Amino acid sequence: MGLQSFFNPKSVAVIGASRQKGKVGYEILMNLVAGGYAGKIFPINPKADDIEGLKCYPDLPSLGETPDLVIVIVPAQFVAAVMEECAKARVKSMIIITAGFKEVGPEGKRLEEEVVRIARRAGIRFIGPNCLGVISPSHKLNASFGGDLPVPGSIAYISQSGALLAAILDLANANGIGFSSLVSIGNKADVNELDLIEAFGSQRETKVIAGYLENITDGNAFVREAEIISGKKPILLMKSGGTEAGAKAASSHTGSLAGGEVAYESAFQRAGVIRCESIKEQFDFAQAFASQPLPKGPKVAVITNAGGPGIMAADAIEQKGLTFARLSDETKAKLAQKLPAAANVHNPVDVLGDALADRYESATEIVLDDPNVDSAIVLLTPQAMTQAKETAEAVAKIAKKKGKPVLACFLGAGKVAAGLQVLRQSGIPQYDSPESAVTTLHAMSEYVRWRTRPKRVVRLFSVNRRKVESIVERHLRQGLLDIGEAEAKDIIEAYGFATPKGSIATTAEQAANIAQQLGFPVVLKIWSPDILHKSDVGGVKVGLNSEQQVRDAFDLMMYRIPKKKPEANILGVLVQEMVRTSGKEVIIGMHRDPRFGPLMMFGMGGIMVEVLKDVAFYLAPLTAEDAKQMLVNTKTYQILKGVRGQEGVDIDAIAEGLQRVSQLVTEFPEIKEMDINPYVVGAPGTTPIAVDARISLEKK
Amino acid sequence: MGLQSFFNPKSVAVIGASRQKGKVGYEILMNLVAGGYAGKIFPINPKADDIEGLKCYPDLPSLGETPDLVIVIVPAQFVAAVMEECAKARVKSMIIITAGFKEVGPEGKRLEEEVVRIARRAGIRFIGPNCLGVISPSHKLNASFGGDLPVPGSIAYISQSGALLAAILDLANANGIGFSSLVSIGNKADVNELDLIEAFGSQRETKVIAGYLENITDGNAFVREAEIISGKKPILLMKSGGTEAGAKAASSHTGSLAGGEVAYESAFQRAGVIRCESIKEQFDFAQAFASQPLPKGPKVAVITNAGGPGIMAADAIEQKGLTFARLSDETKAKLAQKLPAAANVHNPVDVLGDALADRYESATEIVLDDPNVDSAIVLLTPQAMTQAKETAEAVAKIAKKKGKPVLACFLGAGKVAAGLQVLRQSGIPQYDSPESAVTTLHAMSEYVRWRTRPKRVVRLFSVNRRKVESIVERHLRQGLLDIGEAEAKDIIEAYGFATPKGSIATTAEQAANIAQQLGFPVVLKIWSPDILHKSDVGGVKVGLNSEQQVRDAFDLMMYRIPKKKPEANILGVLVQEMVRTSGKEVIIGMHRDPRFGPLMMFGMGGIMVEVLKDVAFYLAPLTAEDAKQMLVNTKTYQILKGVRGQEGVDIDAIAEGLQRVSQLVTEFPEIKEMDINPYVVGAPGTTPIAVDARISLEKK
Q: What is the pLDDT of residue A581?
A: 62
- pLDDT(B606) > 90: no
DSSP B419-472: HHHHHHHTT--B-SSHHHHHHHHHHHHHHHHHHTSPPP--------HHHHHHHH
Q: Which residue among A278, A416, A610 sits closest to B644, beta carbon to beta carbon?
A: A610
pLDDT in tens, A334-392: 999 999 988 999 999 999 989 999 999 999 999 999 999 999 999 999 988 899 999 99
Query: In terms of DSSP H, where are the helices of A496-622?
Result: 508-518, 547-564, 607-610
Q: What is the pLDDT of residue B115?
A: 97
- Please list, in sequence order, all residues whose beta carbon lies within 8 angstroms of the beta carbon of residue A672, skipping any fewer than 6 positions away: A481, A592, A696, A697, A698
Mutate to test the interface with B, among A184, A277, A344, A381 (most CBs of B within 10 A): A381
The answer to whether the Cα torsion of A545, A551, A556, A558 is positive or negative is positive
Residues 67-86 in A contacting B (C-alpha not used; CB under 8 Å):
none
pLDDT in tens, B77-109: 999 999 999 999 999 999 999 999 998 889 999
Task: In whole angstroms, give the CA distance from residue B458 to residue B600.
Answer: 14
Torsion of CA A536, A541, A542, A545, to 10 degrees: 170
**3 state DSSP class of B52:** coil
β-bridge partners, B502: B576
Radius of gyration of chain A (CA): 32
Query: Around Cβ A560, how many Cβ atoms within 10 Å?
Result: 14
Residues 331-350 in A contacting B (C-alpha not used; CB under 8 Å):
342
What residues of chain B lie within 8 A of the CB of A171, using their CB? 411-413
Q: What is the pLDDT of residue A254?
A: 54
Across the interface, do A173 and B382 touch by the CB < 8 Å criterion? no
Task: In whole angstroms, give the CA distance from residue A230 to residue B244.
Answer: 42
Give the CA distances from residue B608 to residues A523, A616, A646, B647, in Å, rounded to whole numbers and listed in that order.
32, 19, 15, 19
Mutate to test the interface with A, among B29, B144, B161 (most CBs of A within 10 A): B161
Q: What is the pLDDT of residue A105?
A: 86
Extract the runs of DSSP E, i.e. beta strands, from A339-474: 349-350, 375-380, 406-410
Query: Around Cβ A206, how many Cβ atoms within 10 Å?
Result: 23
Q: Where do the CATH 3.30.470.20 domains begin and end in chain A?
A: 584-697
Largest CA distance in chain A: 103
Task: In whole angstroms, give the CA distance from residue B112 to residue B96.
Answer: 11
Instruction: Compute CA A503 distance to the chain's CA centroid, rounded to the nearest angstrom.
Output: 45
The answer to whether the CB of A526 falls within 8 A of the CB of A573 is yes
Task: State mean pLDDT over B520-535.
Answer: 86
- pLDDT(B177) > 70: yes
**3 state DSSP class of B697:** strand
Radius of gyration of chain B (CA): 32
Give the closest residue to A250 by CA, choosing from A699, A588, A696.
Answer: A696
The b-or-e profile of A294-310 (16+ CB within 10 A means b, else e) is bbbebbbbbbbbbbbbb
- Please list, in sequence order, all residues whose beta carbon lies within 8 angstroms of the beta carbon of residue A150, skipping any fewer than 6 positions away: A135, A137, A169, A172, A173, A177, A178, A179, A182
Query: Around Cβ B276, how many Cβ atoms within 10 Å?
Result: 21
Across the interface, do A382 and B147 touch by the CB < 8 Å criterion? yes
Task: In whole angstroms, give the CA distance from residue A24 to residue B369.
Answer: 36
Task: In whole angstroms, give the CA distance from residue B351 to residue B359.
Answer: 7
The kind and range of the H/E element at A159 are strand A152-159
Across the interface, do B279 and A411 touch by the CB < 8 Å criterion? yes
Give the closest residue to B274 by CA, choosing from B248, B307, B238.
Answer: B238
pLDDT in tens, A491-515: 999 999 999 988 899 999 999 999 9
Angle formed by the axes of helices A485-494 and A465-477, to 10°?
150
The kind and range of the H/E element at A449 are helix A434-451
Q: How confident is the model at residue B581 (pLDDT cuts 50, 70, 90)?
A: low
The answer to whether the CB of A124 falls within 8 A of the CB of A162 is no
Q: Where do the CATH 3.30.1490.20 domains begin and end in chain A?
A: 465-577
Task: In whole angstroms, give the CA distance from residue B46 to residue B43.
Answer: 10
Task: In whole angstroms, give the CA distance from residue B116 to residue B108.
Answer: 12
Q: Is B4-206 a domain of CATH 3.40.50.300?
A: no
**3 state DSSP class of B155:** strand
- pLDDT(B277) > 50: yes
Q: What is the CATH number of domain B584-697?
A: 3.30.470.20
The answer to whether the CB of A531 falls within 8 A of the CB of A511 is no
We find that the CATH architecture of domain B293-451 is 3-Layer(aba) Sandwich (3.40)
Amino acid A555 reads D
Q: What is the pLDDT of residue A259?
A: 60
Give the CA distances from residue B450 to residues B100, B106, B225, B572, in Å, rounded to whole numbers and listed in that order.
42, 43, 15, 53
Mutate to test the interface with A, among B280, B347, B383, B416 (most CBs of A within 10 A): B383
Query: In terms of DSSP H, where are the helices of A20-122?
Result: 24-34, 76-88, 106-122
Q: What is the pLDDT of residue B528?
A: 86
Across the interface, do A214 and B314 touch by the CB < 8 Å criterion? no
Give the CA distances from residue B660 to residues B197, B596, B599, B665, B674, in Å, rounded to whole numbers and listed in that order.
33, 19, 14, 9, 13
Across the interface, do A382 and B167 touch by the CB < 8 Å criterion? yes
The b-or-e profile of A97-109 (16+ CB within 10 A means b, else e) is bbbbbbebeeebe
* pLDDT: which is higher, B535 or A203: A203
Q: What is the pLDDT of residue A1?
A: 43
DSSP A265-313: HHHHHHHTPEE-SSHHHHHHHHHHHHHSPPPSSSEEEEEESSHHHHHHH
Q: What is the pLDDT of residue B250?
A: 37
Task: In whole angstroms, give the CA distance from residue B599 to residue A275.
Answer: 38
The answer to whether the CB of A501 falls within 8 A of the CB of A577 is yes
The answer to whether the CB of B508 falls within 8 A of the CB of B553 is no
- Please list, in sequence order, all residues whose beta carbon lies within 8 angstroms of the beta carbon of residue B612, skipping any fewer than 6 positions away: A612, A635, B635
Extract the runs of DSSP E, i.e. beta strands, from B17-101: 40-44, 50-51, 54-55, 69-72, 93-96
Strands B406-410 and B375-380: parallel
Q: What is the CATH number of domain B465-577?
A: 3.30.1490.20
Residues 184-223 in B contacting A (C-alpha not used; CB under 8 Å):
212, 214
Which phi-psi region, left, alpha or beta, contains residue A188 (left: φ > 0; alpha: ψ -120 to 50)?
left
Q: How confident is the model at residue B249 (pLDDT cuts 50, 70, 90)?
A: very low
pLDDT in tens, B158-173: 999 999 999 999 999 9
Query: Around Cβ B585, how many Cβ atoms within 10 Å?
Result: 17
Q: What is the pLDDT of residue B288?
A: 98
CB pairs < 8 Å spanning A and B: 184
The answer to whether the Cα torsion of A196, A201, A202, A205 is positive or negative is positive
Q: What ipTM was reported for this prediction?
A: 0.86
What residues of chain A lie within 8 A of the CB of B24, using their CB? 384
Residues 9-68 in B contacting A (C-alpha not used; CB under 8 Å):
22, 24, 27
Give the closest residue to B25 by CA, choosing from B52, B62, B61.
Answer: B52
Q: What is the pLDDT of residue A639?
A: 87
Across the interface, do A308 and B415 touch by the CB < 8 Å criterion? no
Q: What is the pLDDT of residue A251?
A: 39
The answer to whether the CB of B318 falls within 8 A of the CB of B324 is yes
The b-or-e profile of B311-341 (16+ CB within 10 A means b, else e) is bbbbbbbeebebebbebeeebbebbeebbee
Q: What is the pLDDT of residue A645?
A: 67
Task: State mean pLDDT over B590-603.
Answer: 94
- pLDDT(B246) > 80: no
**3 state DSSP class of B668:** coil
Across the interface, do A22 and B384 touch by the CB < 8 Å criterion? yes
Across the interface, do B383 and A414 touch by the CB < 8 Å criterion? no
Write down the pTM of the prediction: 0.89
Give the closest residue to B380 by CA, choosing from B367, B361, B405.
Answer: B361
What residues of chain A lie within 8 A of the CB of B161, using their CB? 306-309
Across the interface, do A163 and B277 touch by the CB < 8 Å criterion? no
Task: In whole angstroms, give the CA distance from residue A411 to residue A432.
Answer: 6
Q: What is the pLDDT of residue A243?
A: 43
Which residues of chain A are under the pLDDT cut of 70?
1, 241-259, 580-581, 644-645
Task: In whole angstroms, give the CA distance from residue A328 to residue A366.
Answer: 11
Amino acid B61 reads P
The answer to whether the Cα torsion of B503, B490, B492, B588 is positive or negative is negative
The answer to whether the CB of A161 falls within 8 A of the CB of A214 is yes
Amino acid B431 reads Y
Q: What is the pLDDT of residue A533?
A: 76
Question: Could you tell me if B610 lies within 8 Å of chain A, comparing CB atoms?
Answer: yes
